Amino acid sequence: MNKMVEPAAMTAPTVKGRRIGEVILEVKNISLAFGGVKALTDISFNVREHEVRAIIGPNGAGKSSMLNCINGVYVPQQGTISFRGKTFSHMNSRQVAEMGVARTFQNLALFKGMSVLDNIMTGRNLRMKTNLFQQAIRWGAAEREESEHRLFVEKIIDFLEIQAYRKTPVGRLPYGLQKRVDLGRALAMEPKVLLLDEPMAGMNVEEKQDMCRFILDVNDEFGTTIVLIEHDMGVVMDISDRVVVLDYGKKIGDGAPDEVRANPDVISAYLGTSH
Amino acid sequence: MGFLLETIIGGLMTGMLYSLVALGFVLIFKASGVFNFAQGAMVLFAALAMARFSEWIPKGLGFDNKLLANLLAFAAAMVVMVAVAWLIERLCLSRLVNQEGITLLMATLGITYFLDGLGQTIFGNDIYKIDIGLPKDPLFLFESLFQGGVLVGKEDLYAALIAAALVLLLSLFFQYTTTGRALRAVADDHQAAQSIGIPLNRIWVIVWSVAGFTALVAGIIWGSKLGVQFSLSLVALKALPVVILGGLTSVPGAIIGGLIIGVGEKVSEVYLGPHIGGGIEIWFGYVLVLFVLLVRPQGLFGEKIIDRV
Amino acid sequence: MLYRENGQFKTTYRADEQIFPIAQDRIFIAALLAFAFLVVPLTAPEYLFRAILIPFLILSLAALGLNILVGYCGQISLGTGAFMAVGAYAAYNFQVRIEGMPLVGSILLGGLCSTAVGILFGIPSLRIKGLYLAVATLAAQFFVDWSFLRIKWFTNNSSSGSVSVAGLNVFGLPIETPAHKYLFCLAFVALFALLAKNLVRSHIGREWMAIRDMDVAAAVIGIRPVYAKLTAFAVSSFIVGVAGALWGFVHLGSWEPAAFNIDRSFQLLFMVIIGGLGSIMGSFFGAAFIVVLPIVLDNLPYWFGIPIDTALASHMTNMIFGALIVFFLIVEPHGLAKLWSIAKEKLRLWPFPH
C-alpha cells in the first residue's frame, strides 16, 4: 500500500513494546442504537497505556459513534466503559475531560467565532481557576493566570508550526490548518488519552507526513496514549501498535496490524462481498 | 357545570382563531425556515385592506350589493397580499438567504414596523368594520341538560368552522401535493433544495402568498369580531405560544396548541384569575408553553433535534 | 500613515492582550473619555443631555448586558425589558423602604435582584434552544409586566404600578441638573464597560463563545454548559438590571410597567444586532443608532420645511425605521462594529489604496 508516509519517529516494534503499559481504557459490550438504527453492537476492546491504537472500518461502521460514547456525547444502551480501573455505564463529558481524555473531530467542531489562539486556549479551561470577580477586575490574579496559560498554549502553537495564524479567525484558515488547530485544542488539555477522529482526512501527502510527525511526537515525548480512527491504510499499518476493525457496528478484527491485515473478514469488509 | 362548559367551549373557539394566525407562522417556517414575526402585521394589513376595499369598491363602482362588494374586496385584498408577498421575497428574503436565524427574525421584525406604518398610511388609522354576514346573535345549546342552556356565540362558531376547514385544506396540501413536498424540502435545507432544481424564489412567493391568504382569513374573522384596529397586530403575540407549543413545523400541532391555549387561558382566567389579581391571560399561554418546553424542548409535535459531532 | 503599528512590538503576553494594543487607539480612547468627562458636562445644551446623551448612555449599558447574553453566549432573549423592570422596581423598593439607603447601593441591589430573576429564567436555556428559547423568554417579559401591575407590594401599593423617586444624591452630592445626571450615568457606563470587556476576554468569555459556536464540542473539552449559560444570564441580567434602575431613577424619575414592555425588549435587540453581536463597542454603536434615528426621522419634515400631520409622521417613521433595519441586515449583518473594523483596516493602509 501507500509507503510514502515515513514518519520521523518510526521505530521498531520492540522499542515500543517496552514502553507499552497496562490497560488504561476498556469498553465492554457497548451497544448503541438510534431509534431503529443499530450503530454499535456488543463492542469490546481495550487500549493500553502509551500505545497507538487504531480503529478502522468502512464508512458508517460506527467508529465515530464509539468515540462519541467514550466522550459522553452519546449514551450507549448497554455496556460499560472503564478508565484506569473505574467503570461507568455512561460517561459525563466533563468527567471524561477531567480524567484526561481529549478528542479531535471528524468535522472539526472548531469555534468559528474565535481566533486560533482563543480556540486552543479553550482547551485550558479546566485548569483556569479564577472566579468571575477576579476576571472582571483582571488586574492581578486573572492577568497572571492568563499569561501563564498563554505561555503553555504558545508552546503548542510552536509545536504545530502555526505561529503566523494565531490571531486569525479559524473560519478563514484552510482545512489542513484547521485540523492542526483542532489537534492543538486537544493537546492543550494535557491529555493522557488522545482520541483522534480521522485527523488526516482530506490532506495531501506532505500534510499527512506533518500530521503523523505531530502524532508520533506527542506519543513519544509525552507518553500520550493515542486512539486513532483513520482510513489511510499506509498510516495505520506504519504507526499503530494494535488495530480494531469495525464493520456495520460489529467488531470483526482485533490485534497487531499484520494479523489484522491478513484476516479474511477484514479483507472481505474492505473489498466488499455480499452481506 | 354549565358555566364551566361554556367557558371551555368559548376557549376552544378562541383557540381555533389563534390557530388560524399560528398557521401563517407554521407555513412560512415549514417552507423557508424563517420565523415570520411580521405575521401579525400581515393580519392587520390584510384586514385593513379588506375593510377599506369593501367600503371603496361599492362607492367607486356605484352599486349596493353587500355580497358582491365583499367578494370583490376579498379578491382585491388577496391581490394586495400576493403583491406584498412578492415584494418581501424580492427585496428582503432573497438577499438574506443562508443568514442566521436571528438575522432573519430581526428582518421580519423590521418588516413588521414597515407594514404597520404602510398599512396605516394607505388605509387610514381609524377603527373600521368588516361585515361579511356572520350572524352575531347567541346560540343556546344543551338547554335540556343545563338550566338556561350553554351560551355559544354563533359568530365564533362559524369562525371556528372556517378555521378548521382551512387547516384541513392546508394539511392536505402539504402532505399530498408536489408543491407541498417541495415546500418541505426547502424548509429542510435551502441549498440542497436549490441544487436539485427547486425554484427557491418562486416557492417562497407561493408560501408567503399562502401565508398572506391565511392572514387575510384570520384578519377578516378577527376584524369582524373586534373591529379592525391597530391592536389586531398584537394578536400575533397571542398566537406565538400556540406556534411553539405545537412545534414550529407541525400544522396539526398549531391546531392542537391553539385549542389547548385557548381553553387554558379562558379557564385559568375565570377560575384562577380572581385569586391572584386578574388579567393573567397575558402570560398564561407563555408560561404554559415554558413548562411544556422544559419537558419536551421541541414542542408537542416538533421534530427532535439530534446533535451530531 | 497615521494608523500604522510599525515599531509597536509587544514583549510580554500582558502587553499583547491589552484591550487597545495599538497606541493610536489608546490615545483616541483617552481623548474620548477626557472629552466625555470634562468637556461635555460644561458645554452641552440641556436638550442634548435629556433627549440624547442620557438615554444613549443608559441604553448602551442595557445593550451591553444583552450583547453578553445574545452575542457572546448565543442565547436569544426577547425578555430584556423584564429584567430592566426588575432592576428598576427592586431598586425603588430598596431606596424607599430602607431608611438612609445610598443611591448607588439601591441601584446595585436592584441589579442583584435582576440577577436572581435572570438565573431563574435562564434555567430553561439548559434544555431549550434557539427560537423555542426566544419564545420562552417572552414568558419572563409578560409575567414580569403583569407582576408589577398587579402585585401591589412591589409598587408600594400604587394602583397603576407607577412609582416615582426624587431627591437623588450620591454621598450628599445632589444629582439634579442634567449635567450631573449625565456624569452619574457616564461613570456607571465606563466602569461596567471595562468590567464587561475584561470578562469577555477571559476564560469565562471564551466559554460563552464556545457554547455559542458549538456546544457539544465545548462539553467534550470540559466546559460545563450549565455554568456557562447561567453565568451569562447572571452577568447579563445584572448589567441590564442596573441599566433599568438608572433608566427609572435618573432618566424618567417616575415610571410605570409599560416603560419596560416588549417594545423596549425589541428596541434593545435591534441595538445589539445593528451594533454588532459579540462586540462591546457594537453595543454603543447600536444604541447611538437607535436613539438618534427616531429623533432625526421625527424632525426631518420640519428641517425640510414640509409640515406633516403628526399621526402620518409617526407612521412614516415606523416605515422608514423598519426599512432601515432590513436594509442594514442585508448590507452588513455583522453590524456597525464590523463596518468600524473594516474602516480601521482601510485606515491602516491610508493613503495607499492597498
Grid look-up 439548559 returns: C126
Cell (9 digits) for A185? 485544542
Residue B220 has pLDDT above 80, yes or no: yes
Any idea what the CATH number is for the domain that residue B87 is in? 1.10.3470
Residue C318 inside a domain? The answer is yes
C59 against A261, higher pLDDT? C59
Cell (9 digits) for C66? 444583552
Q: How many CA atoms lie within 13 A of C69 on its CB side?
A: 33
Residue C22 inside a domain? The answer is no
- Mean pLDDT, rounded, of chain C: 88
C-chain CB neighbours of A109 within 8 Å are 214, 216-217, 220
The region of weakest confidence among A190-199, B167-176, C111-120, C317-326 is: B167-176
**Which of the four pLDDT bands, split at 50, 70 and 90, describes residue B178?**
confident
Number of domains in chain B: 1
B-chain CB neighbours of C266 within 8 Å are 109
Q: How many CA atoms lie within 13 A of B90 on its CB side?
A: 7
In this complex, do C198 and A135 lie within 8 Å of one another by their Cβ atoms? yes
- Give residue A12's pLDDT: 34
Distance (Å, whole) CA B176 – CA C18: 61
Following DSSP, what letter does each residue of C254-302 receive, concatenated?
EE-GGGGSHHHHHHHHHHHHHH-TT-HHHHHHHHHHHHHHHHHHHHHHH
Give Cα B74 to chain centroid, integer Å.
17
CB contacts under 8 A, A 83-102 vs C, are 93-94, 96-98, 102
In this complex, do B287 and C139 lie within 8 Å of one another by their Cβ atoms? yes
Residue A274 has pLDDT above 70, yes or no: no
Residue A53 has pLDDT above 70, yes or no: yes
Residue C235 has pLDDT above 90, yes or no: yes
Residue B308 inside a domain? The answer is no
Contact at 8 Å (CB) between C101 and C249? no
Among candidates B112, B121, B286 on the partner chain, residue whose Cβ is nearest the Cβ of C312: B121
**Which of the four pLDDT bands, split at 50, 70 and 90, describes residue A94?**
very high
Distance (Å, whole) CA C159 – CA B183: 51
Residue C6 inside a domain? The answer is no
- Give residue A15's pLDDT: 39
C interface test, pick of B32, B87, B286 with most C CB neighbours within 10 Å:
B286
With respect to CATH, is domain A13-100+191-271 assigned 3.40.50.620?
no
Residue C298 has pLDDT above 80, yes or no: no
Residue C1 inside a domain? The answer is no
**Which of the four pLDDT bands, split at 50, 70 and 90, describes residue B142?**
low
Q: How many CA atoms lie within 13 A of C220 on its CB side?
A: 28
Cα distance from A17 to chain C (closest Cα, Å)? 30
Which range has highest mean pLDDT (B20-29, B60-69, B143-152)? B20-29
Q: How many CA atoms lie within 13 A of B229 on its CB side?
A: 6
- Give residue C243's pLDDT: 96
Distance (Å, whole) CA B222 – CA B18: 10
Q: Which residues contact A157 (CB under 8 A, 6 or more apart)?
A: A116, A117, A120, A163, A166, A184
Number of domains in chain C: 1
- Mean pLDDT, rounded, of chain A: 87
In percent, the amount of chain A with pLDDT more than 90 equals 60
3-state secondary structure of B89: helix
Residue C20 inside a domain? The answer is no
**Which of the four pLDDT bands, split at 50, 70 and 90, describes residue B97?**
confident
Domain that holds residue C86: 46-349
For B111, the closest chain C residue by CA position comes to: C322
Give Cα B165 to chain centroid, integer Å.
14
- Give residue B88's pLDDT: 86
Residue C116 inside a domain? The answer is yes
What average pLDDT does this structure show over B48-57?
85
Query: Maximum CA pair distance of chain C?
Result: 67
- DSSP β-ladder status, A37-48 and A23-34: antiparallel
The ipTM of this complex is 0.87
- Give residue B306's pLDDT: 58
- Give residue A161's pLDDT: 92
Which range has highest mean pLDDT (A9-23, B130-144, C313-327)? C313-327
CB contacts under 8 A, C 271-290 vs B, are 273, 277
Residue B221 has pLDDT above 90, yes or no: no
Distance (Å, whole) CA C132 – CA C77: 10
In this complex, do C330 and B298 lie within 8 Å of one another by their Cβ atoms? no
Any idea what the CATH number is for the domain that residue C52 is in? 1.10.3470
Contact at 8 Å (CB) between C210 and C224? no
- Give residue C200's pLDDT: 94
CA dihedral B240, B242, B248, B254 (to 10 degrees): -140
Contact at 8 Å (CB) between C56 and C293? no
- Give residue B58's pLDDT: 79
Which range has highest mean pLDDT (A214-223, A231-240, B146-155, C193-202)? C193-202
Residue B147 has pLDDT above 80, yes or no: no
Q: pTM of this prediction? A: 0.88
Alpha helices in chain B (DSSP H): 2-32, 39-61, 66-91, 101-123, 154-176, 178-188, 190-195, 200-226, 235-246, 251-271, 273-276, 281-295
- DSSP β-ladder status, A23-34 and A101-103: unpaired
C interface test, pick of B109, B112, B265 with most C CB neighbours within 10 Å:
B109
What radius of gyration, in Å, describes the C-alpha atoms of chain B? Answer: 20
- Mean pLDDT, rounded, of chain B: 81
A-chain CB neighbours of C216 within 8 Å are 73, 109
B interface test, pick of A34, A63, A70, A74 with most B CB neighbours within 10 Å:
A74
What average pLDDT does this structure show over C155-177?
78
pLDDT digits (tens, 9 = 90+) for C51-73: 899 999 999 999 999 999 999 99
Domain that holds residue B8: 2-295
What residue segments make up the domains of chain A, in order of their start?
Answer: 13-100+191-271
In this complex, do C13 and A147 lie within 8 Å of one another by their Cβ atoms? yes
Report which DSSP code applies to B278.
Answer: S
Following DSSP, what letter does each residue of A121-168 receive, concatenated?
HHTTGGG----HHHHHH-TTHHHHHHHHHHHHHHHHHHHHT-GGGTTS
**Which of the four pLDDT bands, split at 50, 70 and 90, describes residue A25?**
very high
Distance (Å, whole) CA C83 – CA C145: 10
Cell (9 digits) for B84? 406584498
3-state secondary structure of A46: strand
Residue A8 has pLDDT above 50, yes or no: no
In this complex, do A73 and B306 lie within 8 Å of one another by their Cβ atoms? no
Residue C5 inside a domain? The answer is no
